[in-house]
């Protein structure tokens, strides 16, 4: 995996650097706010500080992206031992913790430290790969409603609050080493789907019968198939979206098959997902899906493809974090949330 991520970052660097040097061209930039991105990122590097509440518990995250982020954060320069200089506070707990234990932990923080009560947890964050649910307990509810949750993509509906919570870019389970796809590369297939053999079998069977689509369960040449397809299809589930970054880097525009809006894309507050990916409902069936993809104008497709290639750099996890990679972009989203509203406690009215 380390060899793969290094190679992918190296091969993506030229397009990525071009985008940074020319941030004013919004049509070619993958960023929501291209004119301020680089300045804000550099400010983050020099000033952002995070205080981690002490814990005697050994924490292990079984989800690779959560583990990568946690390990990288512990060894980063963003950590401070002085809570008074911290912008945000990290509440550490096991992914297997119960709601009752969450409430007890927040109660202890409220009693032992002054920082939670200043904002009722709004300048705090935690990692919960699957996301936490709402609770009637006041302490657990404040953690859910006020603190920033970092979870995997996709997160179960109802366990993710848009514009507050953050989802982690997926870590690929493949060993693909991708380079940029040439702009004029011949795309032999309309769509490619790596299938788990279970999800939405009826739709998949329709696609199997269409020569413009490639459906594989055990790909022998996944890289070749991805590079030769205009669109890469993903079901809205963790197993399916694992190769999202590789598809983007290869210029294969992602299509998420889902029957509701997606509000938890990785780096949602940074990247222009509405111009890089398509959402298509499963209810359309194979022919409906084909009609939508076939109806995308060529100029729009090329713009989407270019934005995907430019943005893929930010979705890569490295054993040793590199500038602008997945770790730093998650930190950047935390940095964007450092300005919090001070809540007034009910008894202060």
Q: Could you tell me the CATH number of the domain that includes residue 286? A: 3.40.50.2000
Residue 28 counted as domain residue: no
Residue 135 counted as domain residue: yes
* Domain co-membership, 57 together with 165: yes
Residue 236 counted as domain residue: yes
* Domain co-membership, 163 together with 260: no
pLDDT in tens, 22-74: 444 556 899 999 999 999 999 999 999 999 999 988 899 999 999 999 999 99
pLDDT in tens, 174-212: 545 444 445 556 789 999 999 987 777 889 999 999 999
* Domain co-membership, 110 together with 229: no
- The structure tokens listed for 331 are 């930190």
Which is higher by pLDDT, 66 or 11? 66
* Domain co-membership, 156 together with 40: yes
Which element (helix H / strand E) includes 285?
helix 285-294
Residue 180 counted as domain residue: no
224 band by pLDDT with thresholds 50, 70 and 90: confident
pTM (2 d.p.): 0.88
The reported pLDDT for the residue numbered 38 is: 95
* Domain co-membership, 216 together with 133: no
Residue 29 counted as domain residue: no
* Domain co-membership, 106 together with 61: yes
Number of domains the chain contains: 2
Measured distance CA(156)–CA(139) in Å, rounded: 22
Using CA atoms in the order 242, 247, 248, 251, what is the torsion angle rounded to 10 degrees? Answer: 180
- Read off φ and ψ for residue 235, nearest 5 degrees: -80, 155
Measured distance CA(230)–CA(77) in Å, rounded: 41
* Domain co-membership, 308 together with 233: yes
* Domain co-membership, 165 together with 195: no
pLDDT of 6 > 80? The answer is no
Domain ranges, residue 52: 34-169+328-337
* Domain co-membership, 84 together with 59: yes
Measured distance CA(75)–CA(77) in Å, rounded: 7
Residue 66 counted as domain residue: yes
* Domain co-membership, 109 together with 213: no
Residue 6 counted as domain residue: no
Residue 22 counted as domain residue: no
Residue with tokens 């970052």: 9
The reported pLDDT for the residue numbered 250 is: 92
* Domain co-membership, 308 together with 333: no
* Domain co-membership, 104 together with 39: yes
């Amino acid at each position: 995996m380390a060899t793969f991520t290094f190679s992918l970052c190296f091969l993506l660097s030229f397009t990525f650097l071009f985008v940074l040097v020319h941030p004013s061209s919004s049509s070619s930039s993958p960023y929501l706010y291209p004119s301020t991105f680089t300045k804000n990122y550099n400010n983050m590097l020099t000033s952002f500080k995070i205080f981690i509440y002490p814990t005697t518990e050994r924490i292990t995250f079984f989800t690779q992206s959560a583990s990568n982020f946690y390990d990288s954060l512990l060894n980063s320069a963003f950590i401070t031992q002085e809570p008074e200089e911290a912008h945000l506070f990290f509440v550490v707990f096991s992914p297997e913790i119960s709601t009752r234990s969450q409430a007890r932990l927040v109660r202890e923080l409220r009693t032992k430290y002054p920082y939670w009560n200043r904002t009722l947890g709004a300048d705090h964050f935690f990692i919960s790969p699957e996301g936490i649910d709402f609770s009637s307990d006041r302490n657990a509810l404040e953690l859910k409603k006020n603190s920033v949750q970092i979870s995997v993509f996709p997160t179960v509906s109802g366990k993710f609050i848009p514009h507050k919570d953050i989802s982690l870019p997926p870590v690929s389970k493949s060993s693909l080493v991708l380079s940029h796809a040439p702009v004029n590369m011949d795309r032999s297939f309309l769509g490619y789907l790596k299938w788990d053999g279970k999800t939405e079998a009826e739709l998949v069977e329709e696609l199997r019968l269409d020569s413009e689509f490639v459906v594989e369960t055990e790909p022998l040449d996944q890289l070749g198939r991805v590079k030769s397809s205009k669109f890469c299809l993903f079901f809205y589930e963790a197993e399916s979206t694992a190769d999202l970054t590789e598809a983007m880097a290869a210029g294969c525009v992602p299509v998420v098959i889902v029957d509701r809006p997606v509000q938890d894309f990785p780096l949602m507050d940074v990247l222009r997902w509405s111009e890089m990916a398509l959402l298509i409902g499963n209810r359309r069936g194979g022919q409906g899906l084909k009609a939508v993809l076939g109806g995308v104008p060529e100029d729009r497709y090329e713009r989407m493809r270019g934005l995907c290639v430019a943005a893929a750099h930010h979705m890569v996890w490295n054993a040793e974090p590199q500038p602008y990679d997945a770790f730093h972009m998650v930190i950047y989203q935390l940095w964007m949330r450092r300005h919090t509203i001070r809540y007034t406690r009910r008894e202060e009215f």
